[in-house]
Amino acid sequence: MIHPIYHVTTFEIIAPYTLHIQFDDNTWQTIDFRPILAGDLYAPLRDISLFNQVKIDPEIRTLVWPNGADFDPATLHDWSQYVDAFTTQARRWTPTPA
């Protein structure tokens, strides 16, 4: 199975916890991350000041946050295929204070 390789080229914060993301194939995704901000890695991003520190890692060219949270750029690119599974999994994660 061939895993597609995508890179994030730019993004814009368009609402709280919501990013408009462009990829190197000139496609865009608008992602509201609120439903998955749970568990040890993603719950801290409920702090909007931390969430807004998102940037593009220059080496792996995906979105990263200072606390180590990130996503495979192919997952972001094809978000509609993964959002339900992420949301379901996030409901199972132990609640972690922001």
> Which tokens belong to 24?
């190197």
pLDDT in tens, 24-81: 999 999 999 999 999 999 999 999 999 999 999 999 999 999 999 999 999 999 999 9
- E strands of the chain, at which residues? 8-15, 18-23, 28-32, 55-56, 63-64
The domain made up of 8-92 has a fold known as NE0471 N-terminal domain-like (3.30.2020)
Please report, for the chain, the start and end positions of each structural domain, with discontinuous segments joined by +. Answer: 8-92
The pLDDT, as a whole number, for residue 18 is 98
- The pTM of the full predicted model, rounded to 2 decimals, is 0.88
